[in-house]
Chain A
Amino acid sequence: MPAGTPAPPFELKCTPDQTVSLSDFRGRPVVLAFYPADWSPVCSDQMSLYNELLPEFEKHNAVLFGISVDGIWCHGAFARDRKLHFPLLADFEPKGRVSHLYGAYLDKDGESGRALFVIDKKGVIRWSYISPTGVNPGAEGVLAALESLEADGGRK
C-alpha cells in the first residue's frame, strides 16, 4: 500500500456495542497497528510500548488503533490485563477483511501481519511499514512519520 493511496475505509467493533469507523477521524492523523494476536509475547511488548507513547501521539493530535483478528472479548481481556489505553479493533467477521484491504493479512497463518500505517487528516496513507512477524517494529518510524506530517502541514 504505497504512500499517497487513499486509506481503505472500514468500520470495526472495538467493544461489544461500539464500532469505530475510519471516516469518523477525518481531520486527525490516524495510526493503524495491525498485529498477529493478543497475548503473544512480541505483540504485547509492541502494544505496551505504544501505550507509553500515547502522550506523544496526542501531541500530534493523532489517534492510534490496534487491529487483529481476535474477537472483542479477547481484546477486552488483553487490554485490561496490559492496561492499554487505546482501542483494539476486532477484524473478526468476516475474518481479516480489513487486514486484506490493507495488504496486511497473512493467509498461511490466518492472522494479520505486523504492519503499521500512518494516515493523514485527509485520509491518505502517508507512511507504512511491514515488519517480519517475529520482530517488534518499535515506534521510531511512526513518530518520524507523524513529525513529517506536521512539517508538511506547516509548509502548505
Chain B
Amino acid sequence: MNSDPHSPRLVLPVGVRDHTQGSAKATVSLVEYGDYECPYCGAAYPIVKEVQKRMGVKLRFVFRNFPLGNMHPHASLAAEAAEAAGAQDKFWEMHDMLYENQDALAKNDLLGYARRIQVDSPRFVAALTGHEFAERVREDFLSGVKSGVNGTPTFYINGIRHNASYELEVLMQALEAAAAPGRH
C-alpha cells in the first residue's frame, strides 16, 4: 500500500493533549478521528484492537473526536463523556465501553458506564451536565476538518491520511510498510 504523496497531513501533531496507547518511541503512529455513534467506527473498533495486538510496541494509537452531532444525536455527549473520564485517567476504559455499547449512548447510559468504570463522581456528572469538555471535542473536530477528515473513521499513519480501506489486512499492510526501515 503506497502512501499517496498528495494525501492530506495532520495539521495538529500528536502531543500532550492527546489520548494515546503505546510508547511515544513507537516507530508508527496511528491516529483515528472517530464518532462513538458511527457504525463504521464501531466496525473499525475491533480492527484497531487487532492491529494494536499484532504491531505490539511498534505502534502508538491515538484517538481524536469527530462527532457528527446532527446525524448522530448522542455522539457529542458520548465524546464529552470519554474526555470527562479521561480527566480521571480512564479515557480508554470509557472509549471501549462506548464502542462496545454503541446502541445505548443516552445520558443515562453514559452515567451507567461511568459507574461501571468508577468515574461517576460529582465531578464527572457536572462535567457532562455543564458540557465542560465540549470545547475540547470541538478542537479535535476542527483539527480533523483542517487535516482533511471528511467522514468517520479517518485514519492517519505517521501523520499522513490513510486513503485506502481500514479492513484489517489493508490497514496492517500500510502500518507494516510505515514501520519498515528506510521509510522515515
Taking Cβ atoms with an 8 Å cutoff, the residues of A that contact B are 45-46, 48-49, 51-53, 56, 82-85, 136-140, 143-144
Interface residue B151 (Cβ < 8 Å from any Cβ of A):
yes
Known: A48-B70, A138-B148, A138-B149. 6 other contacts (CB 8 A): A52-B70, A52-B141, A83-B71, A138-B145, A138-B150, A139-B150
| CB atoms of A49 and B70 under 8 A apart | no
The 7 closest A-B pairs by CB, nearest first: A138-B150, A136-B150, A45-B151, A83-B70, A48-B71, A51-B70, A139-B145
What are 7 sample pairs from A and B whose C-beta atoms fall under 8 A apart? Answer: A82-B71, A83-B71, A136-B151, A138-B148, A138-B149, A143-B145, A144-B146
Q: Tell which of B8, B147, B150 touches A49, judged by Cβ atoms closer than 8 Å.
A: B150
| CB atoms of A49 and B146 under 8 A apart | no
Measured between beta carbons, the chain A residues less than 8 angstroms from B141 are 52
Which residue of A is nearest B76, CB measured? A52
Which residue of B is nearest A51, CB measured? B70
Q: Tell which of A46, A52, A136, A144 touches B69, judged by Cβ atoms closer than 8 Å.
A: A52
Please, how many angstroms separate the alpha-carbon atoms of A52 and B151 in the complex? 11
Measured between beta carbons, the chain B residues less than 8 angstroms from A143 are 145-146
Interface residue B47 (Cβ < 8 Å from any Cβ of A):
no
Tell me the minimal C-beta distance from A89 to chain B in angstroms: 19
Q: Tell which of B68, B69, B142 touches A56, judged by Cβ atoms closer than 8 Å.
A: B142
| CB atoms of A85 and B145 under 8 A apart | no
| CB atoms of A140 and B147 under 8 A apart | yes
Which residue of B is nearest A81, CB measured? B71
| CB atoms of A85 and B70 under 8 A apart | yes
Measured between beta carbons, the chain B residues less than 8 angstroms from A45 are 150-151
Measured between beta carbons, the chain B residues less than 8 angstroms from A139 are 145, 150
Please, how many angstroms separate the alpha-carbon atoms of A53 and B8 in the complex? 19
Instruction: Mark each residue of chain B from 1 to 31: 1 if its CB lies under 8 Å from any CB of chain A, else 0.
Output: 0000000100000000000000000000000
| CB atoms of A140 and B70 under 8 A apart | no
Instruction: Mark each residue of chain B from 131 to 151: 1 if its CB lies under 8 Å from any CB of chain A, else 0.
Output: 000000000011001111111
Please, how many angstroms separate the alpha-carbon atoms of A139 and B148 in the complex? 7
Please, how many angstroms separate the alpha-carbon atoms of A84 and B68 in the complex? 11
Measured between beta carbons, the chain A residues less than 8 angstroms from B149 are 138
| CB atoms of B148 and A140 under 8 A apart | yes
| CB atoms of B70 and A82 under 8 A apart | yes
Tell me the minimal C-beta distance from A25 to chain B in angstroms: 23
Tell me the minimal C-beta distance from B28 to chain A in angstroms: 24
Which residue of A is nearest B149, CB measured? A138
